Amino acid sequence: MTSETKVSPIYADEHLSCDILVVGAGVVGLWIARLAARAGHRVIILEKRSAGTGASGGVLGALMPHMPERWNPKKQFQFEALGSLAAEVANLEAETGQNCDYRRCGRLMPLVQPHHRELAQQRMVAAAQVWDSNFQWNLLDAPCKANWPAVHTMPHGLVHETLAARISPRKYMAALKASLATQALLLEGEGFNRFDDAVQKVVTTSGRNISAGHTILAAGHETFDILSDMLARPAADFGTPVKGQAALLQAEISDDVPLVFHDGVYAVPHEGGTVAIGSTSETSFDDSVATDAKLDNLIERARVLCPVLETAAVLERWAGLRPKAIKRDPMIGAVPDRPDITVATGGFKITFGIAHKMAACALELASVGHCGTLPESFRLETHLR
């Protein structure tokens, strides 16, 4: 059944029309809708399930920067996004009265080999050159909190960088959705079916026709299938879904300690004495939403890494699919020969920290046809090459 968020009467005509049609109500799609509505556009959002599900409905919420050496436009884009997100979240919380559980918590990374410490020292110098002076890349000889992480995991010390942050994905999605309640028409349970170019409309999965001045595809990994149909190329030419598994644990730990990252394991403290553990990256799987022994192994590795989690109860196990574009970076740009359709997807592990900036670029492309701040490696034409 389709549920419709009540909005202004401008959408009340029997044949739906809008300036901007957003396909997908994940973190990128909701940000596109938020910014478009702020700019005065009439906005409709199509979401075949419910807003904030799929890859955006997980539990981890780690917002981690790229390494500071070999600086490039992609890293600068992410750095600026991570730096500006705190203010954007504060505005969102003030508007909606909803807490997103955001904190600039920083990140701890154990150093296992002697050369890891040497590399960390080089990165400390690099961070001082390319990061804002408010953020540091520091070397420690002992953890700030006992068993967070375990001393035996850091024979050559510990990196503490202060740029990383965390956010509750579900609280964030709820706040974004609430901010659009009177600003856009959100159709949940109704997805994109096809473009009907004969009548210049989008047809939804329920058979409804929507006239849109511009359509932005932000449907995560499902965008790859839409592009496949439009351009008569295999979906794998654009990207693939990657399964991730994560868990939420109940633990006696303050939520103001830094997140821990080591050897593919994340431990992210959240409010209420909870710690999110993640995440696997699986390109081969039978069930995209089922958890299994791979998550069990991840939880056990996290308990070894952070012994304060040894007896922590598992509150929730989660699995879902993330969009990994063919070149791994986000994929943003106009569809070839279709200036009325823009793509904004991909990002894989960094999307949550840059979604608001991705959305701004997608809207700029939709409105004026170019975006000077978009890195070359993010552009759709770069991926298609």
**172-219 pLDDT per residue, tens:** 999 999 999 999 999 999 999 999 988 889 999 999 999 999 999 999
pTM over 0.85: yes
Contact indicator for 223, 335 with CB cutoff of 8 Å: no
pLDDT of the residue at 14: 55
Among 138, 125, 133, CA closest to 68: 125
pLDDT at 10 over 90: no
pLDDT at 4 over 60: no
Question: 170 to each of 189, 226, 303, how far by Cα in Å?
Answer: 18, 26, 24
Distance CA 118, CA 124 (A): 10
Report, as an integer, the average pLDDT of 91-113: 98
| Structural tokens at position 314 | 């598992």
pLDDT at 3 over 60: no
Q: What are the start-end ranges of the H helices in 331-371? A: 351-368
Distance CA 21, CA 214 (A): 6
Which residues lie across from 212 on neighbouring strands? 18
Distance CA 357, CA 35 (A): 10
Domains of the chain (ranges plus CATH)? 3-57+171-239+327-384 (3.50.50.60)
pLDDT tens-digit series, residues 346-370? 888 899 999 999 999 999 999 999 9
pLDDT at 257 over 70: yes
Question: 226 to each of 41, 80, 125, 264, 309, how far by Cα in Å?
Answer: 24, 30, 44, 31, 42
pLDDT tens-digit series, residues 51-76? 999 899 999 999 999 999 999 999 99
Handedness of CA 241, 222, 171, 214 (dihedral sign): positive
pLDDT of the residue at 15: 77
Number of CB atoms found within 10 A of residue 1's CB: 6
pLDDT at 1 over 60: no
pLDDT at 266 over 80: yes
Distance CA 113, CA 116 (A): 5
Question: 209 to each of 28, 41, 134, 194, how far by Cα in Å?
Answer: 23, 19, 50, 10
Indicate the average pLDDT of the chain: 94
* Own/partner pairs, 85-94, CB within 8 angstroms, 24+ separation: 85/165, 85/353, 85/356, 86/165, 88/356, 89/167, 89/172, 92/175, 92/176, 92/179, 93/175
Distance CA 176, CA 98 (A): 9
Q: Where are the beta strands (DSSP E) in 253-303?
A: 259-262, 265-270, 274-278
Number of CB atoms found within 10 A of residue 198's CB: 6
Report, as an integer, the average pLDDT of 158-162: 98
